[in-house]
Structure 1
Amino acid sequence: MATLPKSILWTRTDTAGAEHAVLDDRGGLRARGVALAVDPIPYTCRYQLTTGPDWVTTRVEVEAEGAGWQRGVRLEAGDGRWRATASEQGDLDAALRAAGHPPAGLPGADDPGRLVDAVDVDLGGSVLFNILPVRRLGLVSATPETARRVTVAWVLVPSLTVVAAEQVYTALGPGRIRFASDTFTADLDVDADGWVVRYPGLAERVAPR
């Protein structure tokens, strides 16, 4: 497995947890990451992400694991559509019920055709994936109040269910990007390359500074 030249670490601010990614963002993005959290139940989530030179996502692989269960999903873009492959071992629903939470959906996409308009992928609880539309659409240097609506293949965690979701990214000026999805809104602090420094209510970057 090839080494990657950059490393970013975020700590969660909404719950106990963190995210660490190693990456290469020269000519697109290649990234491998690990996210850990205790909500809704303790889990470890590992991902691999690849885009083209235009920052359009071409492949994402995600694995999530906790006590007594493990799930995986792979999304591949090609020929104007997404291919989704999922796997499951153990019983995530039993772990969720024991913690007082409702059962999860099945991993993967029940109808990948519903993802046909998605260009980007978003991973629940991950800060890294916000970079995809920000860099692809050039929002770091965009005129303030420039807004772009995107459709994403949203991978829920820990279930790894994949659904289509609409999101809006708005440039607010140097170092600020507004993220909105449904009724949720957050003003993200980003660095000169678009990487999230602070995501209110979710995470803050601790390295590099």
Structure 2
Amino acid sequence: MSVRSRNVRLMATMAKSIFWSRTDTAGSEQALFTDGDGLAARGTLLAVDPIPFTARYRLTTAPDWSTARVEVEAEGSGWLRRVTLERAASRWRVTTAEQGDLDAALTRAGHPRSGLPGTDDPDRLAEAQDVDLSGSPLFNSVPVRRLGLTSGPADMPRRITVAWVLLPGLEVVPAEQIYSGLGPGRVRFASGTFTADIDLDADGYVVRYPGLAERIDPR
């Protein structure tokens, strides 16, 4: 069964939902997913920084939680961009599409121009087993589950390379990240000079990511 067929089949039985409120800016994320055999998810992010935009994604992992395919569409006033990353035979295939003028919208708002969507050299992503979508707490759960950090005692730091998809422009760059288990329900995330201790539920999904988002549970 192809990744796309598996994704469609799993979406048809989607039952779980998580909603996060952004704490770094006005915004939110809702993810709908199934995780019985790896992860198949679709979600929507809303944010006003650096300019108001909506991003929609689909994410599929292999049963071992290594990422197989990610599709992201970002849209704002007068522009729309898409990027698809698909991993096969230890290589990433990256395709993009663009309509309108994101750079004009950024310039009008007083922000720097964005990079082009995607990457001009997919081989730079060769070491990545995970994709990280900026501003999305869901994508942190993928390496957490893949590395087995959801439970158990504090662990040694695990250094990984991710394909980092930047919002809103959808530029894709390799990034080094470090995940360290801090005992059940908590991991430490580090990238460059940034560090955050993330609270997780029993299944490894983010409950609180200081400086980024907090989960909103039904009452």
Post-superposition Cα deviations, 1:128-164, rounded to whole Å, max 9, x if no partner, equal 0001110001011243142111100000000100000
**Identity within the alignment, %:** 68
Q: Do the aligned partners of 1:9 and 1:208 also contact (CA within 8 Å) in 2? A: no
Aligned to 2:5: none
Aligned to 1:158: 168
Match of 1:124 among 125, 134, 146: 134
CA, structure 1 residues 206+63, in 2 after alignment: closer, same or farther (shift >3 Å)? Answer: same
Q: TM-score, normalised by structure 2?
A: 0.93
Equivalent residues in 2 for 1:168-183, closer than 5 Å = 168-183=178-193
Aligned to 2:109: 99
Distance, in Å, in 2 between the alignment partners of 1:143 and 1:198 is 20
Question: What SS class does the counterpart of residue 174 from structure 1 fall into?
Answer: coil
Distance, in Å, in 1 between the alignment partners of 2:205 and 2:31 is 12
Aligned to 2:35: 25
Structure 1 stretch displaced more, 167-176 or 140-149: 140-149
Q: Do the aligned partners of 2:153 and 2:184 also contact (CA within 8 Å) in 1? A: no
Q: Do the aligned partners of 1:22 and 1:32 also contact (CA within 8 Å) in 2? A: yes
Post-superposition Cα deviations, 1:30-66, rounded to whole Å, max 9, x if no partner, equal 0000000000000000000000110010000000000
Distance, in Å, in 1 between the alignment partners of 2:119 and 2:218 is 35
CA, structure 1 residues 77+176, in 2 after alignment: closer, same or farther (shift >3 Å)? Answer: same
Aligned to 2:76: 66
* CA drift at 1:3: 4.1
Q: Which runs of structure 1 show a deviation greater than 2 angstroms over 4 or more consecutive aligned residues?
A: none
Higher normalized strand content (fraction of residues): 1
Match of 2:144 among 125, 134, 139: 134
Distance, in Å, in 2 between the alignment partners of 1:77 and 1:34 is 22
* Structure 1 unpaired stretches of 5+: none
Distance, in Å, in 2 between the alignment partners of 1:94 and 1:88 is 13
Read off the aligned partner of 1:156 and give its amino acid letter.
Answer: L
Question: What SS class does the counterpart of residue 110 from structure 1 fall into?
Answer: coil
1:205 and 2:215 equivalent?
A: yes
Structure 1 stretch displaced more, 104-113 or 136-145: 136-145
Distance, in Å, in 2 between the alignment partners of 1:97 and 1:184 is 27
Q: Do the aligned partners of 1:8 and 1:208 also contact (CA within 8 Å) in 2? A: no
Question: What SS class does the counterpart of residue 207 from structure 1 fall into?
Answer: coil
* CA drift at 1:92: 0.3
* Structure 2 unpaired stretches of 5+: 1-7
Q: CA RMSD in A?
A: 1.0
Match of 1:54 among 37, 52, 64: 64
Distance, in Å, in 1 between the alignment partners of 2:116 and 2:49 is 19
